[in-house]
């Protein structure tokens, strides 16, 4: 009996494992996770979307059902892999939501679409991150293992039980290193200035992204639709204030779905 054909690398089920397609979506919202995170952080968002919005939470290689796939540590290579998967779904208006690392991915995807004269998002929602032109963080993905793990603890994003579980940690370290490489990725010599609305979100207690840095996202766009929202909490305020974030997301989507004058 022949063995089953393995799923294509571009299979939508692989990249969007929780997507529930709508017959006639008014808009699609693509959501990208933080370093070490997965599509699962957006599991509760589907029920909170405005009518007609199709949620597409993106699952990157190296986590959950894709755990045995090699993680991608090059931002240009990740964009190369994502574009063919996204292309069939860009036939409707769409927007990007990125959290921390996901913000960097969202920006680079939009830049690449701009350069290719492709369809552009109605807006970018960028949370828990500053723009790459303001990148002053240490590239911790290059550190020796003990130092890298010590820095992971500072971010408070990886549960301590995982950091203490040697076998599980060894399995996850390549993905964590790759993700921090993506989050840190250099801005390039000639970054593209966009004409896309930007909604920046951050927390007043985020030690890694001061709220003042959120204002500098304005330099990435010539569009007048620019907003900054502050939330309580630290870098992972998405865990404690998801309802408030969803309220902001709905406000942005409703504005961007409105007919253009």
State the Cα–Cα distance between residues 203 and 228, nearest whole angstrom: 11
CATH topology of domain 12-255: Rossmann fold (3.40.50)
Separation CA 230–CA 138 (nearest Å): 25
Q: Which helix (H) or strand (E) holds 126?
A: strand 124-127
What pLDDT score was predicted for residue 148? 75
Contact 186, 132 (CB under 8 A): yes
pLDDT, greater one: 151 or 40: 40
Which string of b and e fits 99-124 if b means at least 16 CB within 10 Å? bbbbbbbbbbbbbbbeeeeeebbbbb
Token readout for 239 is 């865990």
Q: Which residue has the higher pLDDT, 99 or 207?
A: 99
Q: How far apart are CA 163 and CA 158, in angstroms?
A: 7
What's the order of all strands across the beta sheet hosting 226-231?
53-57, 27-32, 94-99, 124-127, 198-203, 226-231
* pLDDT score recorded for residue 208: 85
Cα separation, 129 vs 180, whole angstroms: 13
Residues paired with 114 in a beta bridge: none
What are the CB-based long-range contacts (under 8 Å, 24+) for 149-154? 152/36, 152/176
pLDDT of residue 122: 97
pLDDT tens figures, 109-142 = 999 999 999 999 999 999 999 998 877 667 767 6
pLDDT at 261: 56
Q: Which of 119-123, 186-190, 206-210 has the lowest mean pLDDT?
A: 186-190
Write the CB contacts of 98 (distance below 8 Å, at least 6 apart in sequence): 31, 32, 104, 105, 106, 107, 124, 125, 126, 127, 129
Q: Which residues are catalytic?
A: 100
pLDDT of residue 161: 61
SS (HEC) of 206-218:
CCCCCHHHHHHHH
**Domain ranges for the chain:** 12-255
pLDDT of residue 5: 46
User: Ramachandran region of residue 145, left (φ > 0), alpha (ψ -120 to 50) or beta?
Assistant: alpha
Confidence class for position 4, pLDDT limits 50, 70, 90: very low
CA distance linking residue 130 with residue 201, whole number of Å: 10
* Residue closest to 145 by CA, chosen among 168, 167, 169: 169
C-alpha angle 98-196-222 in degrees, rounded to nearest 5: 125
Please give the pLDDT value at position 260.
Answer: 65
- Residue whose C-alpha is closest to residue 136's, from 194, 73, 187: 187
């Amino acid at each position: 009996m022949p063995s089953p054909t393995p799923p294509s690398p571009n299979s939508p089920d692989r990249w969007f494992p929780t997507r529930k397609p709508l017959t006639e979506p008014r808009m699609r919202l693509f959501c990208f996770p933080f370093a070490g995170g997965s599509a699962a952080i957006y599991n509760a968002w589907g029920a909170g979307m405005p009518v007609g919005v199709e949620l597409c939470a993106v699952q990157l290689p190296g986590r959950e059902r894709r755990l045995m796939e090699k993680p991608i540590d090059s931002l240009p290579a990740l964009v190369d892999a994502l574009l063919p998967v996204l292309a069939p779904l860009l036939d409707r208006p769409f927007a990007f939501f990125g959290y921390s690392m996901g913000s960097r991915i969202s920006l680079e995807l939009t830049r690449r679409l701009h350069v290719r004269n492709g369809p552009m998002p109605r807006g970018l929602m960028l949370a828990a991150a500053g723009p790459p032109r303001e990148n002053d963080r240490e590239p911790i993905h290059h550190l020796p293992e003990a130092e890298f793990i010590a820095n992971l603890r500072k971010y408070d994003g990886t549960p301590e039980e995982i950091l203490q579980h040697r076998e599980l940690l060894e399995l996850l370290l390549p993905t964590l290193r790759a993700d921090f490489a993506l989050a840190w990725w250099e801005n390039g010599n000639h970054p593209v200035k966009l004409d896309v609305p930007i909604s920046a979100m951050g927390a007043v207690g985020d030690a890694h992204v001061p709220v003042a840095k959120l204002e500098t996202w304005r330099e990435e766009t010539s569009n007048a639709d620019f907003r900054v929202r502050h939330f309580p909490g630290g870098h992972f305020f998405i865990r404690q204030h998801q309802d408030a974030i969803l309220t902001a997301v709905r406000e942005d989507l409703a504005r961007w779905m409105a007919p253009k004058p």
